[in-house]
Structure 1
Amino acid sequence: MTSSHLLAAVREFTTTILNPYDLPDLLHRLTDHATMVTGAQGCGIMLAGNDGLGFAAASDDGVVDVEVTQDRIDDGPCHAAYERDQTMAIGDLEAEDRWPEYRQRALESGFRAVLGIPMRAWGQTIGVLDIYRRAPGPWSDTDRDAAEIMTAMGAGYILHANQMRAQHELADQLQTALTSRDIIGQAKGLLMARHRVDADEAFDMLRSTSQRGNMKLREVAAKVIEAENARA
């Protein structure tokens, strides 16, 4: 693990997390950082979705081929790391008898060793980061530490992106509620003046029309306002 590459990766993370960012782009950049920090030759990320793990990002075309193979056959060290929620450290794929189709594709792409680290957030495994090396040999504690730092950063990007999206959705919902309140209030005032009823009776008129027509209350109120404007 080179300290300068690790410092650059952490600096980018701390700067980026405070500003709007494109998550797919950040994940691809993270694979580049992970490759440099660990001194490996490639990195891939797979994320969990409704249909299980899916390919998300890779440092180069060779890793893309290997990760897409895992995605297609639902088999490989990445899937094992995800299902077992534990690190998979393979020092020599030539000596491995598991995952035959994946293993063949990885060897054809020139990779002999792979390190799969589960990516955790919200108390669950949300994906896996795979580090690829062309030379066989055991993965050291330093390799694992560096990979775990990169994995934690990836989980942080995803967690923050989802929190920001939830906040924006909440803000949109609140704005919609406020707009609906104003429209309904305006429609109530028009009905009160036209039919000489109080506020509760005007609201009951809106609600009855909403139920009969299977329409949202806001839509009924908008039609009342539209009809009044047409009369003017």
Structure 2
Amino acid sequence: MARSENQRSTEAEKALDHLGQRSLRELSMESLLQSMADLTKRVMPGDPEASVTLLIKDQPSTVVDTGPLALGLDEVQYERGDGPCLHTARNGVLVEIGDTRADSRWPDYARYVAEHGVLSMLAVPLLLAGEEQVAGSLNVYARRPDAFDEASRAVATGFAPYAAVAAGTVQAYRSARTTADNLQIALESRAVIEQAKGILIERHKLTPDQAFDALATVSMSRNVKVRDIAEHLVRTGELPLVRTRSSQSAARAVQQRDQ
């Protein structure tokens, strides 16, 4: 038996309260975001599926979804480079398709969606405070035409701020992790290069600048990163030969001393 709008509205209010409580104590923002998608699926009409799209420097990805249908329909938009969810994320506007069998804005995509049993759609923008070049969309795929009314739109827009906070936190964490990983790689590269320079300085009485020039010359000659040349020297004790005979650099001087 279908739930009445009053029942659905009451359940939505309880869901919002639940989200508010979890947002204060939930350690995993991914988990909070998944809970939001699951609650959207549960309280929205039309037997829907839901997902959240993040658009980072115009590169889209689905961060959570309620099943393969929502994920697949998201990814078709990403492959095409356009669609209602991408339009919402890029322009910060709510998009609704009442009947995908009759949509004229994205007719090819809408036809594809209808063939997969989705007959109406709702995409709600996520406003990510303080996030430059990052936007998002809460996506609802309903299996019934004209599934959404004013009450259900209000429910979806009520969920959106929670989704935006969680999605923004997820993106901030990912960005910080990427920065940390890059910093670690940079530190490791610097360490191995310093080790290699030390070997050249001790073995051939070079200055630090001459030792780095030797590594850099081999790097450019062989089209290999300085770090890789340094790792090879530290691991084997050998500096690879410079390929060009015309090189008069410190690297060639080192190699001649070794012969």
TM superposition score category, shorter chain reference: 0.5 to 0.7
- Unpaired runs of 5+ residues, structure 1, are none
Matched letter for residue 194 of structure 1: R
Aligned partner of 1:32 in structure 2 is: 38
Aligned partner of 2:201 in structure 1 is: 192
Q: What is the CA distance between 1:185 and its match in structure 2?
A: 1.6
Q: What is the CA distance between 1:136 and its match in structure 2?
A: 6.0
Give me the CA root mean square deviation: 4.4
Matched letter for residue 30 of structure 1: M
Query: Matches of 2:112 and 2:209 in 1, distance apart?
Result: 73
Matched letter for residue 206 of structure 1: L
Relative to structure 2, which stretch is displaced further, 124-133 or 51-60?
A: 51-60
Aligned partner of 2:137 in structure 1 is: 127
Query: Matches of 1:34 and 1:188 in 2, distance apart?
Result: 58
Query: Matches of 1:21 and 1:198 in 2, distance apart?
Result: 51
Aligned partner of 2:149 in structure 1 is: 139
Query: Matches of 1:157 and 1:84 in 2, distance apart?
Result: 20
Q: What is the CA distance between 1:33 and its match in structure 2?
A: 0.9
- Unpaired runs of 5+ residues, structure 2, are 1-8, 239-259
Deviations 1:30-64 (A, max 9, x none): 23212445566424236366998787765578x75
SS in structure 2 opposite 1:201?
Answer: helix
> Structure 1 residue 212 and structure 2 residue 221: aligned?
yes
Calculate the TM-score normalised by the size of structure 1: 0.66
Query: Matches of 2:90 and 2:83 in 1, distance apart?
Result: 11
Quick one: structure 1 residues 143 and 183, their matched pair in 2 at CA, closer, same or farther if it must change by over 3 Å?
same
Q: What is the CA distance between 1:193 and its match in structure 2?
A: 1.7
Matched letter for residue 127 of structure 1: S
Query: Matches of 1:191 and 1:157 in 2, distance apart?
Result: 51
Quick one: structure 1 residues 103 and 205, their matched pair in 2 at CA, closer, same or farther if it must change by over 3 Å?
closer
Report the number of matched residues.
220
Matched letter for residue 212 of structure 2: F
> Structure 1 residue 117 and structure 2 residue 124: aligned?
yes
Query: Matches of 1:130 and 1:70 in 2, distance apart?
Result: 15
Aligned partner of 2:247 in structure 1 is: none
Q: What is the CA distance between 1:221 and its match in structure 2?
A: 1.7
Query: Matches of 2:222 and 2:116 in 1, distance apart?
Result: 64
> Structure 1 residue 15 and structure 2 residue 19: aligned?
no
**In percent, how many aligned pairs have the same letter?**
23
Calculate the TM-score normalised by the size of structure 2: 0.61
Aligned partner of 1:6 in structure 2 is: 16
Query: Matches of 1:201 and 1:152 in 2, distance apart?
Result: 57
Contact 1:207 1:217 in 2 (8 A): yes
Aligned partner of 1:174 in structure 2 is: 183
Deviations 1:169-211 (A, max 9, x none): 1111111221222212222222112112222222222222222
Quick one: structure 1 residues 108 and 211, their matched pair in 2 at CA, closer, same or farther if it must change by over 3 Å?
closer
